[in-house]
């Protein structure tokens, strides 16, 4: 079993709890932060941490991931970016464009590590198809990266300004973490963790207790530019299928604990990355 | 800073120092008498006081506890 904070192999829940308490007593940042955000801000002894860890990680992986993701991003209050997307301003959508082009590049890199390392043919094929849709285009449809850039142009930015805008530091840090995870965890856990991020656009999240969806679907029929609707519709239509199928495969082939730990780590990076979109939006305002 | 304060980790300690420095820079005060913070990693609000003056603000920290966003909010008199 790996430590959910440092990803080092530690043994069973007893040794994981001892390890985490020892690191927390040393005020190690990543262990303290993990415990604060997932278990408790209160200082605890080893036995209590062991019990709380077992409770926290209990559950079938796919259902656990969906429930925990919804709690984190669609809870009350939801992630600030989800809140902003209920009625996105031009600046919020441009912030999305300028940072997400970098995320999509890292997406392809991370999924490529899965293709090169997995021995599960179904996962390899799924990732190859996903990369094609996101980055290359297929069946006469442009890739999502192109739809994203067109959204930015429709909102008044020049294409060359969009593609020449480097990422914010917050985005760079988040993508570096996703890159690190994709080279550290098993490929099947990486696949599940990365595709769990597509739950952000899953239109069925209300069935899992979400108070919001990624955006108000009435936007798809509203006065936003056609290119905005086309980009958002792609995710709205496709990401349910992507995420659910990928999570089923990951649940079948990845170590359940590593999959959950990997998903949590990916969400930390993603959470920060979504804040970067808002940071960019504020800089444009 | 005149008060010994315990922090759970170096990140929080560094963040706290950065916030104090930023408030002093923006207000021109020579000291803070108190600093109250609430919120979490997605965003925090603070109230700094110097005598009978107060300064209300919101902020976010980055991965190295640097201030990535800082905004003055309406101060109480």
Q: Where are the domains of chain A?
A: 1-58, 59-284
Query: Which residues have CB under 8 Å from A136's CB, separation 6+?
Result: A143
* pLDDT of A246 higher than 80: yes
Q: What percentage of residues in chain A have a pLDDT greater than 70?
A: 99
Q: Which residues of B touch A32 (CB under 8 A)?
A: 8-9
Does residue A33 belong to the interface with chain B, where contact is any CB pair within 8 Å?
Answer: yes
Minimum Cα–Cα distance from B41: chain A residue: A272
Average pLDDT for chain A: 94
> In whole angstroms, how far apart are CA A283 and each of A73, A168, B24, B46, B70?
23, 11, 23, 22, 12
Distance CA A195, CA A107 (A): 10
Distance CA A98, CA A152 (A): 8
Per DSSP (E only), the strands in A64-117 are: none
Query: Which residues have CB under 8 Å from B30's CB, separation 6+?
Result: B24
* pLDDT of A277 higher than 50: yes
- pTM for this one? 0.93
Q: Is the peptide bond before A77 cis (omega within 30 degrees of 0)?
A: yes
Could you tell me if A69 and A264 are in contact, meaning their C-beta atoms sit under 8 angstroms apart? no
Does residue A170 belong to the interface with chain B, where contact is any CB pair within 8 Å?
Answer: yes
Which one, of A178, A202, A200, A201, lies nearest residue A111 by Cα?
A178
Q: So what's the pLDDT on residue B76?
A: 52
- What mean pLDDT do residues A269-285 have? 95
Interchain proximity A170–B62, CB inside 8 Å: yes
Q: Which residues of A touch B7 (CB under 8 A)?
A: 27
Distance CA A249, CA A79 (A): 28
Write the pLDDT tens digit of every residue in A193-213.
999 999 999 888 888 889 888
Distance CA A83, CA A65 (A): 21
Distance CA A216, CA A87 (A): 7
Local structure of residue A61 (DSSP, 8 states): H
Minimum Cα–Cα distance from B12: chain A residue: A29
Distance CA A66, CA A97 (A): 26
Does residue B9 belong to the interface with chain A, where contact is any CB pair within 8 Å?
Answer: yes
Distance CA A267, CA A126 (A): 21
Write the pLDDT tens digit of every residue in B48-65.
999 999 999 999 999 899
Q: So what's the pLDDT on residue A233?
A: 85
Distance from the Cα of B9 to chain A's closest Cα (Å) equals: 5
Interchain proximity A173–B62, CB inside 8 Å: yes
Could you tell me if B27 and B49 are in contact, meaning their C-beta atoms sit under 8 angstroms apart? no
Q: So what's the pLDDT on residue B77?
A: 41
* pLDDT of A103 higher than 80: yes
Q: What percentage of residues in chain B have a pLDDT greater than 70?
A: 94
- What mean pLDDT do residues A81-98 have? 95
Helix (H) or strand (E) holding A82: helix A80-84
Query: Three-state SS for B60?
Result: strand
Query: A216 pLDDT band (50/70/90 cuts)?
Result: confident
Distance CA A54, CA A266 (A): 20
Choose the closest CB to A29 out of B9, B41, B60: B9
Q: So what's the pLDDT on residue B1?
A: 54
Does residue B69 belong to the interface with chain A, where contact is any CB pair within 8 Å?
Answer: yes
Write the pLDDT tens digit of every residue in A27-60.
999 999 999 999 999 999 999 999 999 999 999 9
Q: Which residues of B touch A24 (CB under 8 A)?
A: 8
Distance CA A160, CA A153 (A): 10
Query: B75 pLDDT band (50/70/90 cuts)?
Result: low
> Greater confidence, A218 or A200?
A200
Q: So what's the pLDDT on residue B39?
A: 92
Minimum Cα–Cα distance from A276: chain B residue: B68
Torsion of CA A178, B38, A41, A208, to 10 degrees: -60
* pLDDT of A177 higher than 90: yes
Size of interface A-B (CB pairs under 8 A): 35
Query: A92 pLDDT band (50/70/90 cuts)?
Result: very high
CATH fit for domain A59-284, picks 3.30.930.10, 1.20.910.10, 1.20.140.10, 3.90.1150.10: 1.20.910.10
Residue A109 tokens, joined = 């890199």
Choose the closest CB to B42 out of A33, A41, A275: A275
Residue B77 tokens, joined = 């008199």
Interchain proximity A41–B8, CB inside 8 Å: yes
């Amino acid at each position: 079993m790996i430590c959910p904070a440092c990803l080092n192999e530690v043994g069973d829940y007893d040794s994981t709890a001892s390890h985490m308490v020892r690191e927390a007593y040393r005020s190690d940042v990543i262990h303290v932060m993990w415990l604060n955000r997932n278990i408790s801000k209160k200082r605890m002894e080893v036995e209590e941490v062991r019990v709380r860890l077992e409770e926290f990680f209990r559950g079938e992986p796919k259902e656990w991931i969906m429930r925990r993701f919804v709690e984190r991003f669609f809870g009350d209050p939801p992630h600030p970016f989800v809140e902003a997307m209920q009625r996105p301003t031009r600046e919020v959508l441009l912030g999305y464009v300028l940072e997400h082009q970098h995320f999509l590049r890292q997406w392809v890199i991370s999924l490529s590590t899965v293709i090169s390392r997995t021995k599960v043919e179904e996962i390899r094929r799924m990732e190859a198809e996903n990369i094609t849709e996101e980055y290359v285009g297929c069946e006469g449809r442009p890739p999502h990266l192109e739809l994203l850039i067109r959204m930015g142009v429709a909102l008044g930015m020049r294409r060359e300004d969009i593609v020449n805008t480097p990422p914010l530091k917050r985005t760079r840090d988040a993508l570096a973490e996703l890159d690190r995870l994709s080279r550290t965890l098993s490929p099947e856990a990486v696949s599940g963790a990365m595709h769990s991020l597509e739950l952000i656009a899953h239109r069925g999240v209300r069935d899992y207790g979400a108070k919001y969806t990624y955006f108000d679907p009435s936007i798809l029929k509203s006065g936003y530019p056609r290119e905005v609707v086309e980009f958002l519709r792609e995710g709205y239509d496709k990401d349910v299928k992507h995420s659910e199928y990928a999570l089923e495969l990951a649940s079948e082939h990845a170590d359940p604990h590593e999959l959950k730990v990997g998903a949590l780590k990916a969400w930390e990076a993603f959470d920060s990355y979504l804040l970067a979109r808002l940071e960019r939006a504020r800089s444009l305002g | 800073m005149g008060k010994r304060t315990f922090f759970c980790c170096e990140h929080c300690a560094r963040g706290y120092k950065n916030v104090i420095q930023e408030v002093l820079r923006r207000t021109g005060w020579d000291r803070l008498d108190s600093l109250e913070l609430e919120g979490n990693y997605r965003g925090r609000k603070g109230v700094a006081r110097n005598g009978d003056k107060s300064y209300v603000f919101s902020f976010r920290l980055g991965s190295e506890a640097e201030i990535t966003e800082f905004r003055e909010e309406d101060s109480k008199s």
